[in-house]
Structure 1
């Protein structure tokens, strides 16, 4: 009986140690899968397809198993809009342009139908990011056109969009806006909407009830100038989140440019001070890492951390990747200046 108990305890100990063991990546391979004269800051993955949207009205899709490509282009009144936001449901893909007029298109999964589902004209309009929670509920956010962030919501799968009135939103501070760096300013986790701002004030806006009520929380990220603040955010779950950015005009500066939360965005703690990357364009949690592993791309290359952002290892010098998303815990896809690439993280 004692032997059985001993063996059981050893087995539990072994399984616990195995479960807690960290995977530490030390290198990454890069393979270009698409090239074109296009700047891409918005990508989204489904089971076997990567969709992208970018400059000069261009968008497209790549079948990941065959590398078969589809390319499309939007033109409206001789205008070729610049797309920096993309999101998808199981039925369609949505792309949203920056600047005036804001144009939001719905593209059918078979790529045959492209429909304008929302348009907004205002000299201040500039949308930064968009995401769907499920097949019905989606959110897009942008710079203020009045005294609040510009937020629109859909509850019918993207067929119609309604603006959240400023009376229902926290007021922005002077010089507070957002950056359309990598389509990572808005995040949806269950009923929670999380939005980050940047500029002269850099904060975290949180709604626990799908946009009915809001709270706003300060962050310690560098701020105070037009090109400072949070440029990118990711949440591993409802509680663990990471923000990054910095000073776009001082891209090597790696102080006060990264912070972590463990309470859903209410409080933030600076990490990785004076180490790792400088200006950050996109940060993403590695799947299945318990919220401890992250990858960041930006003005100083591609960096990896496996200790919640305390220390970082540079894996690539490439400064022309603007956005990335993970397919699994070792494969990610990134895009930027004139290309889309596949990244494989290795021990």
Structure 2
């Protein structure tokens, strides 16, 4: 806990105001860019293992891995995946990872590697043309879920009990009906997140209300709660969630169209997602990714094409601390945080 508090304090002390188009800190904490060697790829999938190891997943079927803190990146893309769009990666360590490709029908696929990407096994290929998988999340090294946009009026949940080596569709009986036009956003791999051994949350948009669905039994039964994040349009809603425990969570989003404003782009919950309240001072624009700083009770980051925002009070107020474009952010237990996005961008938080 002390290390997390110190890290959060350092961020708060050196963060620059929103008007400054600079890094996270003049003298200390900042995003340090790492050369991925893939400027043609947009990396919306990111998994931070530790300060040395991170995995990226992106367009053109690309998966990269570093084990030296981003100094070098190895292309470990699954063979024959060049036509796929990878939007999520969940890594257990430097050798074991699972990646999700999105799209209608058979474009939605899951691959797993146990040897650092030297070989891959395709463990799921979606047979239903009505399904479109957006995100996945793991409770531990064995149990995980993936979510699809509504099929026959309900979000579809895919489950694994063996670390992503095999998958099965869960019964739809415990899933509430979807709103008209409601869907998930495959923007950062964070429209489905977990905390602890059984709790999972699903973020939505596109419908009349931006909602967060919660399950306390690994996806069998769900409840839905409305958030104050604007919706009512296919481009609006909650794009990413982050929970530091099974009670305290953040939701970020807005309108992803760059020519549209995004008021009320963040919300917070202190009761496990049963109720949500708007951030008193939200990020000034659309944000697609969020992550709590490890071991901190109040510090978190939100990222998007327009910049990075920091909160030190649990999501009630945010301030812009960097104007670089990132789609997703992830932090590891050793206090390391990574971000990635368009044009092969990847960075690590450093001081």
1:279 aligns with 2:286: yes
Q: In the alignment, is residue 211 of structure 1 matched against residue 216 of structure 2?
A: no
Is the strand fraction higher in 1 or 2? 1
2:45 to 39, 42, 52: 42
Question: Hey, what's the Cα distance between the residues in 2 that align with 1:293 and 1:93?
Answer: 27
Matched positions, count:
325
Q: Is 231-240 or 31-40 further displaced after alignment?
A: 31-40
Q: Would the alpha carbon gap of residues 89 and 333 (structure 1) be closer, same or farther in structure 2, given more than 3 Å must change?
A: closer
User: Per-residue displacement from partner, 1:77-130 (whole Å, max 9, x unpaired)?
Assistant: x86211101113356211111113111111123433211111113333321111
Which residue among 26, 31, 34 is the counterpart of 2:33? 31
Deviation at 1:329?
Answer: 7.7
Task: Give the 3 Å change call, closer, same or farther, for CA 30–263 of structure 1 in structure 2.
Answer: same
Residue 73 to residue 29, structure 1, CA distance change in 2 (3 Å): closer
Residue aligned with 1:73, SS: coil
Task: State the Cα deviation string for residues 119-142 of structure 1 (Å, max 9, x = none).
Answer: 113333321111111121011112
Q: In the alignment, which residue of structure 1 is the partner of 2:312?
A: 306
C-alpha RMSD of the superposition: 2.4
Structure 1 length-normalised TM: 0.86
**Hey, what does 2:85 align to over in structure 1?**
82
Q: Is 1:343 the counterpart of 2:348 in the alignment?
A: yes
CA drift of 1:203 comes to 1.1
Alignment of 1:1-347 (within 5 A): 22-23=9-10, 24=12, 25-26=14-15, 27=25, 28-36=30-38, 37-47=40-50, 48-65=52-69, 67-76=71-80, 80-89=83-92, 92-100=96-104, 101=106, 102-190=108-196, 191-200=198-207, 201-249=209-257, 253-273=261-281, 275-290=282-297, 292-319=298-325, 321-327=326-332, 331-344=336-349
Q: Which moved more, 1:61-70 or 1:48-57?
A: 61-70
Rate the CA distance shift 1:66–1:281 in 2: closer, same or farther, 3 A: closer
Q: Distance in 2 between matches of 1:277 and 1:331?
A: 25
**Alignment partners' CA distance in 2, 1:247 and 1:311:** 19
- Which residues of structure 2 form unaligned runs of 5+? 16-24
Q: 1:35, 1:338 within 8 Å by CA — same for their partners in 2?
A: no
Q: CA deviation at 1:74?
A: 3.4
Contact 1:49–1:64, Cα closer than 8 Å, also in 2? yes
Judged with a 3 Å threshold, the aligned counterparts in structure 2 of structure 1 residues 331 and 93 are, in CA distance, closer, same or farther, namely closer
CA contact (8 A) 2:327 2:341 kept: yes
CA-to-aligned-CA distance 1:30-60 (integer Å, 9 cap, x gap): 2223131211100112243111111111112
Aligned partner of 2:22 in structure 1 is none
- Deviation of the 1:340 alpha carbon: 4.0
Q: Which runs of 5+ in 1 are unaligned?
A: 1-14
Q: Is the 8 A contact 2:48 2:337 kept in 1?
A: no
